[in-house]
Structures are given as C-alpha cells and as structure tokens.
Chains A and B, each alone.
Chain A
Amino acid sequence: DGGITQSPKYLFRKEGQNVTLSCEQNLNHDAMYWYRQDPGQGLRLIYYSQIVNDFQKGDIAEGYSVSREKKESFPLTVTSAQKNPTAFYLCASTLHGTEAFFGQGTRLTVV
C-alpha cells in the first residue's frame, strides 16, 4: 500500500543534541513538507520541497535543517539551535499541490 511513513513515533532529546526525524513516501509525490504542531497553534510549516535537491523555508525554519537527496525521502534535523523543540512533528506529501497525505507523526520531547 502507498503511504507516508515517519519514524520514530517517539523521540527523546537531551539538551544540546541534534536529532533527525525520518520521513519516507512511496506515493511518487513531488512535494514534501514538515510541520510542527503545538497545542492551539495549528500546523506551522517548517520546510517544504517541491523537487529533489531543492527546498524552501517555511514560517518557522530557524533551528531546523532538511535535505532532499531522493524523491521519496525528506529527513528533518532538529538542531541544538532550536530552543524549544518539544512538539509533535508531521510530515506530508502532495502531488502538484493536491490532496496532502500525512504521516502518523513523531512526538519529540526534550529531557
């Protein structure tokens, strides 16, 4: 079955560490996205990518980095520069801006 897979489901980070969240899709979608979800804030766009080897900053890119070396993969790194990383992270993909498919999310907690 086609879909979008995020891993891990839960992730714990120590202060000062970088962590990488995985997102893989087998839908052959061109565009991929990372969103951060905090209570009452909705879905805020971190980064998005329309094609391989290209990506654009969203509204809250500071403290995050991404890469898009393969069409099916769009990993997100939460760097130590992100001062408040505890949140629920969602990855999504679309085909030409149509229906977005979301992964099941990764819940990141700073310990």
Chain B
Amino acid sequence: QQPVQSPQAVILREGEDAVINCSSSKALYSVHWYRQKHGEAPVFLMILLKGGEQKGHDKISASFNEKKQQSSLYLTASQLSYSGTYFCGTDPQGGSEKLVFGKGTKLTVNP
C-alpha cells in the first residue's frame, strides 16, 4: 500500500530545479509531503486535499492530480538547506487517519 516515489535520488547544484513524484495504485484523498534530514525527525512541508489544488511554500510547491492518482513536489532554485530525504504520505482508505509513506527521495544540493 506504500505510494511509489520517483526518482530514488537526485543530485543538484544550488539554484537548479527538481521534481519529485508520488503515485498510488489506489485512489488518493490527500497527500502529505515531509522532509527529513539525516538523524532527525521528518518535518511537515504541506498537505494537499482532493480537488487538484496546488500549494506552495516559499520556492517549494506541489500539485495533486486525483485522476492520475499522483502528486508532484516542485523545488525551484534549490538551496543547500533543501538537502534531505523527501517523503510523500497518503491515506489509502480515504477518510481514515491511516497514513502510509513512500520509500523516499534523497535530494542532495551541492554548492
């Protein structure tokens, strides 16, 4: 039931853009995005609800296409602080509070 994330890893230079994808074989009702730095707890970035809305926070935004059962996270003009592992989380039962995560995408931003 884990959502599938791609790519598994990305290496960027500071200022470059990246896209991380999250897809599910089941209908999506909401999608969460988190970032985890090494040895730390995951930190919430944003949540997208059914309706195809796009959200943004600073230069990080995300879209949610419920028809395609996928979400994408867009990192624009990446900064060194964006380095970490990004996880998407979904509720596979719709309306429950079950929250399952993908395997993560490791993002490395180099100077």
Q: Which residues of A contact B (CB under 8 A)?
A: 30-31, 33, 35, 40-45, 48, 50, 56, 58-59, 90, 92, 94, 96-105
On chain A, the residues within 8 Å of B40 by CB distance are 104
Roughly how many angstroms separate A105 CA and B30 CA in the complex, as a whole number?
25
Count of chain B residues near A, Cβ 8 A: 24
Given contacts A40-B103, A42-B104, A90-B41, contact A100 B89 (CB under 8 A): yes
- Distance to closest chain B CB from A50 (angstroms): 5
Roughly how many angstroms separate A17 CA and B36 CA in the complex, as a whole number?
31
Contact of B2 among A59, A90, A101 (CB under 8 A): A59
Given contacts A42-B2, A42-B87, A97-B30, contact A48 B99 (CB under 8 A): yes
- Give the residues from 57 to 102 in chain B that come closer than 8 angstroms, CB to CB, to chain A: 87, 89, 91, 96-102
Roughly how many angstroms separate A24 CA and B26 CA in the complex, as a whole number?
32
Interface centre among B2, B43, B89, B98 (most CB of A within 10 A): B98
